[in-house]
Structure 1
């Protein structure tokens, strides 16, 4: 990619889109922890000092990518038809769909798992506010999807399920990606292998149990936070 200096608003916007697209492609090759500004600048053929003319920081780039991947995931879920059956059966089906759809999106899971510890650091207050507003919009859309599958849920129950899905994904994803030494240990010792985390199974089971508990407590609804 051979860039010339961007002189118009459209050229600057195009440069920024190229940087974001390149970073997104890099995340299909490496985890968030290994994506560096140096490698990003090399791939877009811009000096590191020049990249910050278009993006605030590595973390700001990753936050924007997280917002985009969340929108794509929710769009996929919005196109799925609710299951039939009892609330428990529909809840189990929804839990499985959420877990399986997350597992198909490793970049999203990696970004979620790094959000609090990496992505939300080294950004300006303005970027943080913009991201949280985007996140709130995504959460509202996901709440609507959940309530379409489980109309028994109020906003509070759906909100609690979204929060649980986010937190369990953040915890389960890195644990389901063991180091080479841990992989070797799992293969050598059956007792150790029993401790290996299956991301889809753990997330699906946790969400199914959460849904069952929320259904059982549906008449005990605290107010939805605003």
Structure 2
């Protein structure tokens, strides 16, 4: 249903439209600013409404980002089957890493999950997020199992768990502040410069190799 932007939403479909407009605004801001610099007031300014209006639909800035993380991850999972090869495990893992590297907003939000996004939100919001996360990782695990011979369901789920932990730790190192960029320009510090796609691919390949090797013991 088409209604004027941010007219008071009374019906469920109108409220959902408002929520999606807020998420659209958050995604647009994240293309320009780090998440830490985006407030509810800034989100409201982007939509020409007050901070209070945004709070009618999301309890906090972190609640907005959690929902956006869910939306971006689902979009990624919809696209991923067409981006993953069959067969060679290393190629599958590298393709997965490259696919995520091409989605920096998704990576940024995912990397902030434990330190920022799961704070200043209610237990109900976190619980809802966790169930959605589990649903999405189950989809990912089934896809990986279908592409990598010998990867069973249990190990595929473990792989998704390790993959998230690795992303949370690695992504900030791949987006350093200017002083770190300048310091690591020294050739002797070449290994300190992190290409996310390449390094994340190595981590996924090593993790998968370990899981597959353990099955043969």
TM-score (norm 1): 0.88
The aligned residue for residue 189 of structure 2 is 192
The aligned residue for residue 63 of structure 2 is 60
The aligned residue for residue 160 of structure 2 is 162
Name which of 141, 146, 171 aligns with 1:173: 171
The aligned residue for residue 8 of structure 2 is 5
The aligned residue for residue 206 of structure 2 is 209
The correspondence of residues 1-226 of structure 1 with structure 2, limited to 5 A, is 3-80=6-83, 82-84=85-87, 90-187=88-185, 189-219=186-216
Give, in angstroms, the shift of residue 177 of structure 1.
0.7
Contact 1:185–1:193 (CA under 8 A) maintained in structure 2:
no
Across the aligned residues of Structure 1 and Structure 2, the Cα RMSD in angstroms comes to 1.7
Task: State the Cα deviation string for residues 48-103 of structure 1 (Å, max 9, x = none).
Answer: 1222112111111100111111111111222345434xxxxx11011111110110
Give, in angstroms, the shift of residue 219 of structure 1.
4.4
Which range is displaced more, 138-147 or 196-205? 196-205
Give, in angstroms, the shift of residue 186 of structure 1.
2.1
Give, in angstroms, the shift of residue 2 of structure 1.
6.0
Give, in angstroms, the shift of residue 137 of structure 1.
0.6
- Where do 5+ consecutive residues of structure 2 fail to align? none
Task: State the Cα deviation string for residues 196-215 of structure 1 (Å, max 9, x = none).
Answer: 11211211111111111111
TM-score (norm 2): 0.92
Q: Which SS does the other structure have where 2:112 is aligned? A: helix
Contact 1:152–1:215 (CA under 8 A) maintained in structure 2:
yes
Aligned length: 214
Q: Which SS does the other structure have where 2:193 is aligned? A: coil
